[in-house]
Every structure is written in C-alpha cells, then in structure tokens.
Amino acid sequence: MAKSIKNIALIVTSGTLISKIGGMIRQLVIAGAFGIGPAYDAYNYAYIIPGFFLILLGGINGPFHNAMVTILTQKSRKEAAYLTTAINTNITTFLFLISLAIFILADPIIKIVGPGLNSDIHRIAVMQLQIMAPIAFLSGLIGISFGSLNSRDEFFIPSIAPIFSSISIIIIIGGFWISQGERFESINLVFKGAYLLAIATLIGAIAQWVVQIPSLMKKGIWKMKLVWDWNNPGVREVWKIIVPATLSSGMLQINVFTDLFFASELVGVAAGLSYANFIIQAPLGLISNALLIPLLPIFSKLSGANNHSLLNKRIDQGLMFSLVSMICLGTIFISGRTPIIELIYGRGAFNENAINLVSGLLIAYGVGMPVYLCRDLLVRVFYALGDANTPFKLSVIGIWLNIVIDWIMVGGPTPWGSQIPFNLGGQGLVFGTGLVNLLTCIALLYRLNSRLINLPIKKWFFSFVKLICSGLFSGIIASSICRTFIWPENMISLFMEVLLIIGVNVFSFIISTNLLGVNEVNELNKIFRRKLFFSK
C-alpha cells in the first residue's frame, strides 16, 4: 500500500534527523582532533571531487535519485529490476573509469583546486584524494539504490544511510583523537590523522551502499549481474534526466571549487568554511528533505495533469515555508554565532582563533540562507515541468558570476598584485555565493512566471521584505537580551545561552510577523497543528 505524503515526510524527516545527529557528532570529533589545522584543511581540497560524487550524485535529492524515482515509479517490479540492473551497469562502468582517472591525476587535480597550498598541505591532499578516489564509483551504486528504493516506497533506509559514513569517521578519528592527546603539532601525527580521515571516509561510503543491499533484494530490484542495454526506452529516459541534472548539480560544485580556489592562500579558511557550512547544512538538509522529497512527485503529478492552479498553490506553500524557516534560522545563527560555535566545536584543537574565524563565516552563511532552499525548490519545479535545461543554463551563468564576485571579494588578486583595495576574506566568498543564489532565484522566478499563469510574484516580494524586517527585529532583540547577562564560562551556561537565543528569536519573529501582517506564518502554524502540510 502506497504511503501518504504526510507519512513519507515523517519517515524522511526522522531518518534525516538521525543522520544529521550522526553528522554533528562526526564534525565534533573532527574539530576536536584537527581544529583548523593542515590535516583537515587539506581534506577539504581532497574531498571536493569525491564529495561531489558522494553528496550530489549519490545523495537523496541528487540527479541519480530523482531520475530513478521519476522513471521507476511508473514501472512494474520486473521492469524496475531490469532497468536498475542495466542502469547500474552503464553508469558504474563509466564511474569506475572516473575513479581510476582521479587516482592517477591526483597531483595535478590538487594543483588546480588549491594553487596556493603550501607543500605539506599539498602532499597531504594528494594522498587523501588517491585514497578517496573509489568514492566516485561507489556514488553511482548509492544514488541509483536510493532512487530505486524510494520508487518502491522504501524511504527510511536511504534517509539513515549517511549515518554509517559518520559512524566510520567517529570511530576511527575518535580513536585517533583519544590516542594522540594534546600533541597536535607533530607532523607525523598530522599525516597519520589525514590518512585515517581519508580511509574512514572511504569505508563510510562503502557502508552506505552495503546497508541498502538487503532492502534492494527484498524489493526484488537488485541482481548480481551485468546488463549492457543502451537502447531500452527506460534506460534512455533515465539518461535524458540524469545528464542535464548532473551537469546542473555539477555547476553548484564548481561554485564550491571556486570558493576554495580563492581561499587556498588564506590559512585555515577552507577548514573554517567546512565547519560553518556544516552548521548551516544540518537544519537546511533536514528541512530540505522533508519539503522537497514529498513535493517532487506532487509537482510532477500536477504538471502532468496540467493542473496549474493547484500547482501554483503548492509552489506558493513550499516557497513561503522555505522563506519563513530559513529567515528565522538565519537570524538565530547570526545573533548567536559565537556561543553556537563554542558549544558545538569549542574543545580539543579547536581554539579561540578557530572560534573567531568560524563565527565570522556563520554570519555570511546566515545572511544567504533564505535563498538557498528557495533555489532548490524552484529547480525542482522546472524538473517537474520537464525542463532541466533552464536550471542548467542559469547555473552556468552563475558560475561565471561567482568567479568574478569571488575575485572582487578577495581583493582582485593578479600576478601583479591585488587590483582592488579591500579583501573580505572567507566572509566575502560566502557573501558572493549568496548573491549569486539570489540572482539565480530571481531569474528562475522570471522564467517560471512565463511558463505558469497567476503566480503571486508581488505577494512573494512583499512577504519576503516583511520577513526580512521580522528577522532583523528578532535578531536585535535576542542579541540585546543576551548581552545583558554575564554568562559563566562552562558548557551548561553556553547551552542555556544558545537556548535563550533560539527562544527569544523565535518568539520575537512570530510576534513581529503578526504585527506586519505576514499571514503565511499563522497559516503554517495551523497546518503543522493539523499535521497536514501536504494533502495526499
């Protein structure tokens, strides 16, 4: 029996929450063991390409997942099994060659992504990239398996699979942290820790795929054989979706590469970006999965039925939920940045310099949060309309914009020196990415408005302005109240301070939205109380 949208959202949210908790513990262990030192700084460069494959291609909501769900949902069990095997064969063969190329070309790849790295960090990154090269191959198996299981109403295993990657790192790096004590500066320990971090990441990727095999066998969609069938209509349908969607996702990863490229001469910034980004991505990923996974089939169904009136309503509902949740969260991160960073990371090798660096980056990430989720939502609408080319073209434009803006933000570096009289460092890189996402959202809305009739663009704009004002008000109130207290320096006080910041922010945000007449907040509250965010 097919699950309702409400039940799917609950399952996905629960599984994602478990994975995010595991991810948080993983980051705590990494921060305690490495801080913003060379081992983790190098890892962020080595992980760019494996991370692209594992997170985007192998992840839920990735192109492989979306393509498999779109095609297999309409197929019988026998057809689904055949298509899954054929697509696995085609894609993983190609990805195996990619993994081999990554291993062989690890040194020039690191020179490209991190041209300003010193020799030790460069050598560490090359070693780590070679160890993690097989992740490209594994990502195909993982992403296809996720989509295949979702198409057969299995959502929990794909949602919790990432926790196995976290568990691997927690166990291996946690043991390393305990064994090394406070000897963080030893170069031998730096290389050993970097090696173990790469090994743990690879083992975690293997575990993400292996844990899905029992469910795949139970659903009858996993077979240990090779099927070379490029002409099957179902296979061609999957490739038709995967290619532009993968290219579009790749554009986002190129933006990450761009940021790290310009950060390579800024000591510790790559590690700091990773720590700050994780704090943002934890709630963002939870909300994104709970929102986008149930909405994708709804958008597709309504688009196929040409029910534009109800489609517009669902877009409106999803977009307002995105704005309300992200602006409120962004305000919390900005006003509570330092205690939040201290509470989460402030131990072991994560010293005061690291806290100050990551706290500053959290401000920039918080400012850009409102447009992150909106962009993902609008891209899914275009996929549902059968248009993967528009997001791809806008992503290409966004790449060039991001390169130019990043170059400006870090002072316009050239072989003849800096050409711009200011350098905003890591914060500037994050602000630049947020600006590109904002411009992309505007462009997507403009194109969408030409495809659909009666989109409430004007209402969205005024609601956005009111929500921004509410966020500013709640942030100022929370910061002012917290500064009136003198907090003892211990973990309990930090925890209480963070709770107070969250509570004051949320309460002030709700009050101010009511005063400004943002009716959508009250409507969302009513929906949550009824537990009926989406109809069946």
Q: Rounded to whole angstroms, what are the CA distances from 98 to 49, 95, 130, 240?
A: 10, 5, 12, 20
Q: Which of 434, 482, 516, 471 is nearest to 332 (CA)?
A: 471
Please check whether residue 147 lies inside any domain of the structure: yes
Could you tell me which residues come within 8 angstroms of residue 465 by beta carbon, excluding any fewer than 6 positions away?
A: none
Domain membership of residue 483 (yes or no) is no
Would you state the pLDDT for residue 146?
67
State the Cα–Cα distance between residues 60 and 319, nearest whole angstrom. Answer: 20
How confident is the model at residue 533, as a pLDDT? 43
Counted domains in the chain: 1
Q: How far apart are CA 176 and CA 173, in angstroms?
A: 5
Q: Residue 31 domain-assigned? A: yes
Residue 34, pLDDT score? 84
Q: Within a domain: residue 510?
A: no
- For the chain, first and last CA: distance in Å? 13
- Per-residue model confidence as pLDDT tens for the chain (536 residues): 445 555 655 666 676 677 778 888 888 888 888 887 888 888 988 988 888 787 766 666 566 656 665 555 555 566 666 676 777 777 778 888 999 999 999 999 998 888 878 888 899 999 999 999 999 888 877 877 766 666 665 666 666 777 888 899 999 998 888 887 655 556 677 888 899 999 999 999 898 888 877 777 776 666 666 666 666 666 666 666 666 666 655 555 676 777 777 777 776 787 788 888 888 877 777 777 666 666 666 776 676 666 677 777 778 878 888 888 888 888 999 988 888 888 888 777 787 888 888 888 888 888 888 888 888 888 878 877 777 778 878 888 888 888 888 888 877 777 666 677 777 877 888 888 889 889 988 999 888 888 776 788 888 888 888 889 988 998 888 888 877 777 777 778 888 888 888 888 888 888 888 888 777 666 555 544 444 444 44
Q: Is pTM, for the whole model, over 0.85?
A: no
530 inside domain? no
Decide if 155 is inside a domain.
Answer: yes
Nearest to 202 by CA among 299, 255, 137, 293: 137
Burial code (b: 16+ CB inside 10 Å, e: under 16) for 246-264 equals bbbbbbbbbbbbbbbbbbb
Q: What pLDDT score does 536 carry?
A: 40
**CB–CB of 190/39 below 8 Å?**
yes
Of 350, 373, 340, the residue nearest 272 (C-alpha): 350
Q: In terms of C-beta density within 10 A (0-12 exposed, 13-18 middle, 19 or more buried), how is residue 30 classed?
A: buried
pLDDT at 155 (0 to 100):
64
Q: Which of 51, 54, 44 is nearest to 114 (CA)?
A: 44
Name residue, tokens 């060379």: 38
State the pLDDT at residue 81.
67
Range of the domain at 180: 1-243
Q: What is the CA radius of gyration of the chain?
A: 23
Number of H helices, E strands in the chain: 22, 0
Residue 217 lies in a domain: yes
Q: Measured between alpha carbons, how far is 31 from 34 in angstroms, rounded to an integer?
A: 5
Give me the pLDDT at residue 115, please: 80
Q: Cα angle at 499 between 165 and 477, to 5 degrees?
A: 125
| 23 lies in some domain | yes
Rounded alpha-carbon distances, angstroms, from residue 397 to 268, 429, 495: 29, 17, 43
Query: Is there a contact between 510 and 522 (Cβ–Cβ < 8 Å)?
Result: no
User: Half-sphere exposure (CA, 13 Å, Cβ side) for 65?
Assistant: 27
For 8, 85, 158, 226, 249, the CA distances from 152, given in Å and listed in that order, are 12, 15, 12, 22, 25
